[in-house]
Amino acid sequence: NAGVTQTPKFQVLKTGQSMTLQCAQDMNHEYMSWYRQDPGMGLRLIHYSVGAGITDQGEVPNGYNVSRSTTEDFPLRLLSAAPSQTSVYFCASSLLGQGEGRAFFGQGTRLTVV
């Protein structure tokens, strides 16, 4: 019973590099989201998806892309990393919209951009 799995757990990037953060869930949830967690700011929504093929922007989408080709996977792409993207990133999935019911979170990816 894996739940939500994120990889990698840690990553260091140079400014301008690109990378993809992986997220997979095995609960057949339609709703998936990406959040970033910064000190003193709580978690902020980056992008979300309400099902395969359907994605949309959250509060802080600039510099990030997502796609949802399957129900299970929801990768987050950093197009050209910037120091301001240094953060801890969490993927979440839920059966209902995440304000409607319980959300399941991955363990997080700690990203440092130098």
Partner 1 sequence: SQQGEEDPQALSIQEGENATMNCSYKTSINNLQWYRQNSGRGLVHLILIRSNEREKHSGRLRVTLDTSKKSSSLLITASRAADTASYFCATDAVLNTGFQKLVFGTGTRLLVSP
Query: Residue 16 interacts with partner 1 (CB under 8 A)?
Result: no
Query: Residue 45 interacts with partner 1 (CB under 8 A)?
Result: yes
The tokens 């949802």 sit on which residue? 68
CB of 103 to partner 1, least distance (A): 6
Q: By CB under 8 A, which span of 19-27, 41-49, 66-74, 77-85 interacts with partner 1?
A: 41-49
Query: Residue 34 interacts with partner 1 (CB under 8 A)?
Result: no
Kindly tell me the burial class for residue 45, based on how many C-beta atoms sit within 10 Å of its own C-beta (0-12, 13-18, 19 or more): middle
What is the spatial distance between Cα 53 and Cα 69, in angstroms, rounded to a whole number? 6
| Closest to 26 in 3D by CA, of 101, 107, 93 | 93
Of the residues 13, 29, 33, 36, which one makes contact with partner 1 according to CB under 8 A: 33
Site for partner 1 in 60-89 (CB under 8 A): none
CB of 52 to partner 1, least distance (A): 16
Contact residues: partner 1, CB under 8 A: 4, 33, 40-43, 45, 48, 50, 56, 58-59, 90, 92, 96-108
